[in-house]
Amino acid sequence: MYESRMSEAFKDFGHDLKEARIALGMTRRQLTDKIGIDPRYLANIENSGFIPSLAYFYDLVTACNLPINKYFYPEMDEQESEARERIKLKISLCPENYLPIIEATVSGILSMDKTGDA
């Protein structure tokens, strides 16, 4: 009998999902109402490491702005430090209108570093 091996990248999906949902200010009930699943199903995903069906996975990552590549192409991020991973996740959760502020801040930091003012 075939035995499926879950990617190591999926082991953090529930935690990432819960963190993203909270960061977006959504309750578990609001998210389940939005995508049409039972709150207990979502609780199992967030707290027990349950991996949802592909259709629900897509709905969840889309609703919570999670980076889908993290779960399907983890080798792309293997060289990334934990700090960079945390920052990427937080930026993906920011509303679009905040991105110019973030970009300007990073540009300012980088220009200070080039001039030796840092």
The model's pLDDT over 39-77, given as tens digits with 9 standing for 90+, comes to 999 999 999 989 999 999 999 999 998 988 888 877 665
The span from the CA of 57 to the CA of 109, in Å, is 36
The span from the CA of 51 to the CA of 6, in Å, is 9
pLDDT average, residue stretch 6-18? 83
The span from the CA of 73 to the CA of 2, in Å, is 23
The span from the CA of 45 to the CA of 14, in Å, is 5
Q: Which of 25, 7, 20, 19 is nearest to 69 (CA)?
A: 7
First-last CA distance in the chain: 59
Which tokens sit at 13? 């999906």
The model's pLDDT over 102-113, given as tens digits with 9 standing for 90+, comes to 989 988 888 886
Q: Which domains does the chain have, with CATH numbers?
A: 8-115 (1.10.260.40)
The span from the CA of 78 to the CA of 101, in Å, is 28
DSSP at 74:
G
Does pTM surpass 0.95? no
